[in-house]
Structure 1
Amino acid sequence: MSHINLDTLYRQVIMDHYKHPRNRGTFDDDSLTVEMNNPTCGDRIFLQFKLDGDIVKDVKFTGEGCSISLASASMMTQAIKGKKIEESIKLSKLFSDMMLGKEVDIDEFGLEDIEALQGVSNFPARIKCATLAWKAMEKVNKE
């Protein structure tokens, strides 16, 4: 596949997650809530977790932000559902490495859509947008 076609595909994947986010919404009952914002651009994310011990049984998000920020939150919620908190934090660190342009094994994520965000690493100002939900999720370990 040519570079141009791959970029177009990645843009489509990001826009699909932005326009049709997975796991967007809130839980009506008690759940662990984490909030984080990026004061530089105004992106804001709220994550809600249903935990079963140290396993993410379910996760939802709400917030305002750019397409990259919200698409990344959608992808992140899909990637961590059913995983242990420790595994989720490991994925977050791999994602951060990818955003910094480091070589990362995409298969470790278990969700190919995340690869669509790889190009964000070429735009340093947008890296915080892509990592916002992931950094917020890491706070669950500290709650």
Structure 2
Amino acid sequence: MEVKELYREILNEHNVNPAHKKAIEGATLELNGVNPSCGDNITLFLKTDGDTILDGGFTGSGCAISQASVDMMLDLIIGRKKDEALHLAETFMNMIRGSASDEEIEELDEAGLLRDISHMPSRVKCAQLGWRTMRELFSKPSAGTITAKADSPHESCPAH
């Protein structure tokens, strides 16, 4: 199977049948993340016990990339410590910026398949939305909304 075909298959599976697209009853952390240039809008729910992420989910809507990326992220962070999740978020952001090594990208498991998003500037914010929301959730764990800022005033997402 070609890498592009595998990418499409995994992205489609996470978008069409996301394992974590649900509100989490008893979530200890919750934050809404929005990409206004695109219309992607998610609410991220995490249930934690101290520094350990016990469960996670998301609700909302958006393009296939935003939905698949947050689902892949939750696959990675559930069961991990907060610091590990934040490390993975930093690795993901570095990958999108093109500054992560192949070894670091391997830590991202399926999310590493999104590495070529960096060559599609209009889709970067879509892929980053869940990861940005998680980082913000841990830095300011009060309910609210974060908005993904476009890097330039002309950056927008293609129609979904």
Question: Same fold by TM-score, threshold 0.5 exceeded?
Answer: yes
Is 1:94–2:74 an aligned residue pair?
A: no
The answer on whether the counterparts of 2:34 and 2:41 sit within 8 Å (CA) in structure 1 is yes
One of 26, 41, 44 as aligned partner of 1:44: 41
The answer on whether the counterparts of 1:11 and 1:116 sit within 8 Å (CA) in structure 2 is no
User: RMSD value over aligned CA atoms?
Assistant: 1.3
Question: Which protein is richer in helix relative to its size?
Answer: 1
Unaligned runs of 5+ in 2: 142-160
| Aligned counterparts of 1:106 and 1:22: Cα–Cα separation in 2 | 22
**How many angstroms does 1:30 deviate by?**
4.9
| Aligned counterparts of 2:47 and 2:25: Cα–Cα separation in 1 | 11
**How many angstroms does 1:86 deviate by?**
1.3
One of 12, 21, 26 as aligned partner of 2:9: 12
TM-score for the superposition, normalised by structure 2: 0.81
TM-score for the superposition, normalised by structure 1: 0.90
What is the DSSP-based 3-state SS (H/G/I as helix, E as strand, rest coil) of the residue aligned with 1:36?
strand
2:154 corresponds to: none
Amino acid at match of 1:78: D
Equivalent residue pairs, number = 138
Where do 1:56-71 residues align within 5 Å?
A: 56-71=53-68
What is the DSSP-based 3-state SS (H/G/I as helix, E as strand, rest coil) of the residue aligned with 1:37?
strand
CA shift digits 1:16-71 (9 cap, x unpaired): 10001021101233532111101111101101110010111100111110000000
2:137 corresponds to: 140
The answer on whether the counterparts of 1:34 and 1:48 sit within 8 Å (CA) in structure 2 is yes
**How many angstroms does 1:116 deviate by?**
1.6
